[in-house]
Amino acid sequence: MEIVIRPTPADVAVTAADIVADHVRRGPAVLGLATGSTPLATYQELIRRHRDEGLSFKDCVSFNLDEYVGLPKGHPESYREVIRKEFTSHVDIPDAKVEGPDGTAADIAAEATRYEEAIKAAGGVDVQLLGIGTDGHIGFNEPVSSLASRTRIKTLTTQTREDNARFFASIDEVPIHVLTQGLGTISEAGHLLLLATGEGKAEAIAATVEGPVAAINPASVLQFHPHVTVVIDEAAASQLR
């Protein structure tokens, strides 16, 4: 596991964009995309490179990590819409190649299987962007998720619903269920790129990097992966030994 500590969140974004751009240039790349606040600056930097430097995503395919269950199609906070709004609609990746689990599917278990098969059919994810929850979740694999889990429905913890309430009018509007790639699914990506910024993530990052591998800290599964880059700012690194 490579740990890269950068002074500020803006520096984290530049380093993360360098890594993603490298995969894209080597292309055709299968990108694993995360939502949440952390990767937004990285997406901004990739959009800038597309606009100013001709970085092209036209041969890329992307897969979202997760999706809320029960938000209607087109809801502005559904992750399919968020990823379009924040990233893919600003670059030249074809919209039909921007994939995500369908949280509106009538049969969620069948949708989970379909999604796993779609990732496999694309040849697997080359580089997977990851944020981390304050409780150590990646994707929406909350504490005590099986380290071998596959795409499935999960119940969000109260902590995560509180953390995400900032995107909704009130916590009551934050869905309770999500469809998320499992820890086993995420671990099959060729290169895992975990980003974290701010003091609030320091404890989760220390547990991920230095703690025992345990289901109580889902991100610790990264310790088993042969190619992980953790890019964090000094605040998020503040509890590392």
Comparison of 63 and 140: residue with beta carbon closer to ligand F6R: 140
Complete DSSP assignment for 113-174: HHHHHHHHHTT--SEEEE---TTS-BTTB-TT--TT--SEEEEPPHHHHHHHGGGSSSGGGS
Give the closest residue to 56 by CA, choosing from 20, 103, 11: 20
Quick one: which of 46, 55, 71, 138 contacts ligand F6R (CB under 6 A)?
A: 138
Comparison of 29 and 179: residue with beta carbon closer to ligand F6R: 179
Comparison of 8 and 58: residue with beta carbon closer to ligand F6R: 8
The answer to whether residue 35 forms part of the interface with ligand F6R (CB under 6 A) is yes
Q: Closest distance between ligand F6R and the C-beta of residue 37, in Å?
A: 4
The answer to whether residue 9 forms part of the interface with ligand F6R (CB under 6 A) is no
Q: Is 126 a catalytic residue?
A: no
The answer to whether residue 100 forms part of the interface with ligand F6R (CB under 6 A) is no
The answer to whether residue 146 forms part of the interface with ligand F6R (CB under 6 A) is no
Report which DSSP code applies to 84. H
Q: Is 137 a catalytic residue?
A: yes
Residue 8 makes CB contacts below 8 A (sequence gap 6+) with: 233, 234
Sheet with 177-180, side-by-side order of all strands: 66-68, 177-180, 152-155
Give me the residues paired with residue 231 across strands. 4, 195
Q: Closest distance between ligand F6R and the C-beta of residue 205, in Å?
A: 12
Q: What are phi and psi of 94, to 5 degrees?
A: -65, 140
Q: Closest distance between ligand F6R and the C-beta of residue 176, in Å?
A: 15
Q: Which residues are catalytic?
A: 66, 135, 137, 142
Q: Which residues bind ligand F6R (CB under 6 A)?
A: 34-38, 65-66, 131-133, 137-140
